[in-house]
Amino acid sequence: MRPVLLAVLLAACSTPGAGPASQPTAVIEEDPTAAPAPTATAQADALTAEGAWVRAVPPGSKNSAVFLDLGNSGSTLVQVKRARSTAAGAVELHTHVDDGGVMKMRQVESLDVPGQGHLHLAPGGDHVMLIGLTADLHEGDEVAVTLVLADGSEKTVVAPVKTGPAMAPAHGHDDGHGHDDGHGHEHGDGHGG
Ligand SMILES: [Cu+2]
């Protein structure tokens, strides 16, 4: 019986054109590139921070705020998600909202710097709030604030303590800051005195 059985099997296997072709081989979808790729560029690399300053507050004050101009040289949104500083027990991201004619501070989820754009943190607007100052802030002191971005990268900014916006005309009371707005008036005529 064996030869017959073998013949039948061979016939079954070799029938040409009978029925659909053999089932397609299952392809195992295993893409080695599927793992999360490391971020090509950390958001902190695209973020610039200029003109940072911390508002000087009277001795014993609990809170102050940090202002600066954030720039984004990248093409995608950069979000500051939180901040920290050894100068304060807590650091929050705040903005001001108009609440029935009264400007009130509100905590926000993030400070967003659009691609190729800027976010200007200034009194009356967005700011980084220092809550529970660990020491008095004296003019001339410097406060380091670390901004933590959405991708986890960080940028630390050193902000000098100032009494207020530099745009205010200085009345009396020169605090010794160099005024660096005198561009174009450098007369090199060297009066020897
Ligand atoms: Cu605030």
pLDDT 10s digits, 147-164:
999 999 999 999 999 997
Query: Is residue 99 predicted with pLDDT exceeding 60?
Result: yes
Q: 125 C-alpha to center of ligand 1: Å?
A: 9
CA of 93 to the centre of ligand 1 (A): 7
Q: How far is the CA of 95 from the centre of ligand 1 (A)?
A: 7
14 CA from centroid of ligand 1 (Å): 82
Q: pTM score, two decimals?
A: 0.66
Distance 94 CA to ligand 1 centre (A): 5
| Token pair belonging to 68 | 């600066």
115 neighbors 72 (Cβ within 8 angstroms): yes
pLDDT for res 164: 75
Query: Which amino acid, residue 29?
Result: E
pLDDT of residue 186: 39
